Amino acid sequence: MGQLAVNGGAKTRTKSFPGWPVFDEREVKAVEEVVRSGRWGCLTGPNTSEFEKKFAAFQDAKYGVCIVNGTAALEVALRAVGVKAGDEVIVPPYTFIASATAVLLLGAIPVFVDIDPDTYNLDPSKIEAAITDKTKAILAVHIAGGPADMDGIMAVAKKHGLKVVEDAAQAHGAAWSGRRVGAIGDAGTFSFQASKNLTSGEGGMVVTDDPDVYAKAWSLHNVGRVPEGEWYEHRILGWNMRMTEFQTAILLAQMERLEDQMKTRDANARYLDAELSKIEGIRPLKRLPRATSHAYHLYIFRYDPKAFGGVPRSKFLQALGAEGIPCSSGYVPLYKEELFYVEPDGCPMGCAFYGRKMDYSKVHCPVCENASYNESVWLGQNVLLGTNEDMDDIARAVRKIRQNAGELADG
Ligand SMILES: Cc1ncc(COP(=O)(O)O)c(C=O)c1O
């Protein structure tokens, strides 16, 4: 009988980690109040506009517009800053698919630029080489809730006259150099989907400091209406991407816990950083000094098979899961997704439709590929809502696997 749980040994941990979402009677009461009010839509009820103001202020932004989800929020934000069909948008390949599909759905073209090996965020030093006369914007994704290098990204954008949209879907409360993310660039987007650190099941928001971007985003999400216009007056081509009062009532209640949850995640992540760093072959992602607040939507560490007797990451993950630590391998590079190859002309809808053929099979971002295929190990944000002892279990399980790696190499 092997000592590792994956080989039949005793598990390091049998208790489960804290569940998600966290809720109590506040959410129940908030939804009940909306039901009883009969004001279920955001055009008549008070919750959506209250939440827009509160959450935008929380992110140090002047304006917020609630949008049905984070993917749609990206489309709205990109269009609001002026991205049009045929434009190119710089996108990191290590992110959720929406960061690229929102670009494609506008008929624009994602151009992938590699990530930084220490943060897994867009590497500002690699952006300039990808800029062409068609480049319109940079999508700065704050991956895992760790703020991207906004100084580097904003400097390149300024030099080349590009717009910056922040994909902060995972970064509620994250801050760069003391300023919360979202409106550091021209616009930013959030997701309130079920797994996110602030959630209403589904939902999203565009934030900005620019009154014109705000007005455009508001109009785009409300079928082209303008605030001072008539009900049946549609000045631009817009979508209906409005959220409901049920969702924003829940979000207002969820916000009451957010600061405390952020503190817990932060303290546990720092503790885990210290513990895991003591184990040879394990390197947590780096937190840059200017990343003054990290949302820790994910806790990511880097695994080096060489220090584990050559055991591939897939086996390590299996073993860690068997020890009672829920974990996963994370994203594949977006340009490897089938959608970039299966459309009729050999390229996705946007590119084919606008007569440009992009051959994504030639894209090669080595840092992202190493992160995706060899190195990254993900823990979910709910794990970080546990105690120091819970974090000790994680470190203990990793140490146990390292000490007994021979069992996996042989198996
Ligand atoms: C980085 C990133 N961008 C965009 C999205 C899209 O958000 P949603 O799922 O709300 O459409 C997500 C979330 O899933 C995400 O993690």
Judge whether 276 and 368 are in contact, CB under 8 Å.
Answer: no
Residue 202 Cα to ligand 1 middle (Å): 10
Query: Which pLDDT does position 358 carry in this prediction?
Result: 75
> Over the Cα atoms of the chain, what is R_g?
22
Confidence of residue 350 (pLDDT cuts 50, 70, 90): very low
Residue 281 Cα to ligand 1 middle (Å): 31
What global pTM score does this model have? 0.97
Return the pLDDT at 355: 58
User: How many other β-carbons are positioned within 10 Å of the β-carbon of residue 359?
Assistant: 11
Retrieve residue 14's tokens. 């049998």
Q: How many CB atoms lie within 10 A of CB 116?
A: 21
Asked if 93 and 115 count as a contact pair (C-beta separation under 8 A), the reply is: yes
Residue pointed to by tokens 């993310």: 181
CA of 176 to the centre of ligand 1 (A): 20
- Asked if residue 349 has pLDDT above 60, the reply is no
Q: Is the CB of 384 under 6 A from ligand 1?
A: no
Give the model confidence (pLDDT) of 105-119 as tens digits: 898 999 999 999 999
The answer to whether the beta carbons of residues 73 and 52 sit under 8 Å apart is no
Provide the percentage of residues in the chain whose pLDDT is more than 70: 95
Q: Which of 196, 315, 336, 400 is catalytic?
A: 196
User: Is the distance from the beta carbon of residue 99 to the nearest atom of ligand 1 less than 6 Å?
Assistant: yes
Which atom, in ligand 1's list, is nearest to the CA of 69?
10
pLDDT band per the 50, 70, 90 thresholds, residue 360: confident
Whether ligand 1 lies within 6 angstroms of the CB of 376 is answered as: no
Q: How far, in Å, CA of 118 to CA of 283, rounded?
A: 9
Question: Each residue of 14-71: pLDDT tens digit?
Answer: 999 999 999 999 999 999 999 999 999 998 999 999 999 999 999 999 999 999 999 9
Does ligand 1 have an atom closer than 6 angstroms to the CB of 218? no
Q: Is the CB of 70 under 6 A from ligand 1?
A: yes
Q: Does residue 191 line the site of ligand 1, with CB under 6 A?
A: yes
Helix (H, G, I), strand (E, B) or coil at 400: helix
User: Cβ(303)–Cβ(136) under 8 Å?
Assistant: no
Higher pLDDT, 12 or 43: 12
Distance CA 236, CA 224 (A): 5
The rounded Å distance from CA 191 to ligand 1 centre is 6
Look at residue 1 and tell me whether its pLDDT is greater than 90.
no
Spell out the alpha helix ranges (H) of 59-120.
70-80, 98-105
pLDDT at 344 over 70: no
Largest CA distance in the chain: 75
The predicted pLDDT at position 132 comes to 96
Helix-strand-coil split of the chain, %, nearest 5:
45, 15, 40
Environment class of 264 (CB within 10 Å of its CB; exposed 0-12, middle 13-18, buried 19+)? middle
Q: Catalytic annotation on 196?
A: yes
Ligand 1 centroid–CA 67 distance in Å is: 12
Q: Is 69 in the pocket of ligand 1 (CB under 6 A)?
A: yes
Tell me what the mean pLDDT of segment 246-266 comes to.
98
pLDDT of residue 73: 98
CB atoms within 10 A of CB 335: 23
What number is the average pLDDT over the span 342-363?
A: 63
Pair of tokens at residue 254: 């969820």
Mutate to test the pocket of ligand 1, among 69, 71, 89 (most ligand atoms within 8 A of CB): 71
193 lines ligand 1 (CB under 6 A): yes
What's the pLDDT tens digit per position in 243-254?
999 999 999 999
Nearest to 122 by CA among 146, 97, 158: 146
Contact 34, 50 (CB under 8 A): no
CA atoms of 395 and 103, how far apart (whole Å): 39
pLDDT of residue 340: 82
- CA distances, 108 to each of 85, 153, 246, 349, 386 (Å): 5, 20, 34, 10, 42
Neighbours of 267 (CB within 10 A): 13
The enclosing H or E element of 190 equals strand 187-191
d(CA 350, CA 358): 10
Residue 348 has pLDDT above 60, yes or no: no
> What average pLDDT does range 199-220 have in this prediction?
98
What number is the average pLDDT over the span 130-150? 98
DSSP H or E run through 51 = helix 47-58
Band (347; pLDDT cuts 50, 70, 90): low
165 versus 42: the higher-pLDDT residue is: 165
Compute, in angstroms, the gap from residue 289 CA to the centroid of ligand 1.
Answer: 26
Alpha helices in 201-356 (DSSP H): 211-221, 245-277, 313-322, 339-342, 349-353
